Amino acid sequence: MARSKKGRQTRERLFTTALALFREHGFEATTMRDIANGAGMALGSAYHYFPSKVAMVTAYYDQTLDADEERADAAIAAHESLPERLSAFLHAKLRALEPDQRMLSDVFKYTADKTSAAGVFNEDNREIRARAVAVFERLCDTGELKGHALELMPTLLWSTHMAVMLYFVHDDSPRQDRTHALIDGGVEALGPFIALAKTPLLTPMLDHIQKTLSDAGLLKS
């Protein structure tokens, strides 16, 4: 157990050092040797814990998801409606990720590459995607949506959130104000959607959305 605990501590030190260097110098400019030196380790030992810098991106996903679950808990505790919960969650997430914007911009090409270990749609990352969608499932559990609408909304929100993150990493406005404004506008549209979802008027659209997401492999089988 002592050896296992020491290994976890060493891995955490290496990961924390890597994040600090990525934030200061950028992901591309930082080498594994830089990370090992910063953590006071031999390069070979660093590779024992992380086979590459890209593997650290996957660890960053896990860390961010842990924080997302805490942010969702806070939004759920403070708000009853889906728009209010979603707004609180997304704004809190962007504020927390503000120091990481440069790093996220660098690594985005890896997250968008399905052959990369950090690829969002890489089959090996299916569990990470499921965890991310589950965060939105919890946010949606307000009683405002039923049936198809409730089934589809978490995946729709997660997909939209991914698009917002892409915009965020390219947003050069002060403190990414344009991204926060984008969130406000999008969340405002949720109210009318929720109202329509309670009527038969939206059924054809929901059926079409369900087929589209199913064909894309984004819905749970």
Other C-beta atoms closer than 10 Å to the C-beta of 39 total 22
User: Does residue 215 or residue 220 have the better pLDDT?
Assistant: 215
Residues 6 or more apart whose Cβ sits within 8 Å of residue 139: 72, 75, 76, 82, 85, 86, 89, 154, 157
User: Does residue 52 or residue 221 have the better pLDDT?
Assistant: 52
Question: d(Cα 46, Cα 163) in Å, to the nearest integer?
Answer: 33
The predicted-structure confidence for 65-112, as pLDDT tens digits, reads as follows 999 999 999 999 999 999 999 999 999 999 999 999 989 988 888 887
pLDDT in the model for residue 16 = 96
Question: d(Cα 154, Cα 131) in Å, to the nearest integer?
Answer: 11
pLDDT in the model for residue 217 = 83
Give the class (CATH, top level) of 1-51.
Answer: mainly alpha
pLDDT score of 220 more than 80: no
Question: d(Cα 118, Cα 57) in Å, to the nearest integer?
Answer: 6
Structure tokens given for 99: 């120091």
Residue type, 116: S
User: Could you tell me the residue ranges of all domains in the chain?
Assistant: 1-51, 55-215
pLDDT in the model for residue 134 = 97
Question: d(Cα 149, Cα 161) in Å, to the nearest integer?
Answer: 17
Mean pLDDT, residues 183-193 taken together: 93
Confidence of residue 1 (pLDDT cuts 50, 70, 90): very low
User: Does residue 114 or residue 8 have the better pLDDT?
Assistant: 8
Q: Tell the residue number behind the tokens 């997430």, with chain if given.
A: 93
Burial of 5 (0-12, 13-18, 19+ CB in 10 A): exposed
CATH architecture group of domain 55-215: Orthogonal Bundle (1.10)
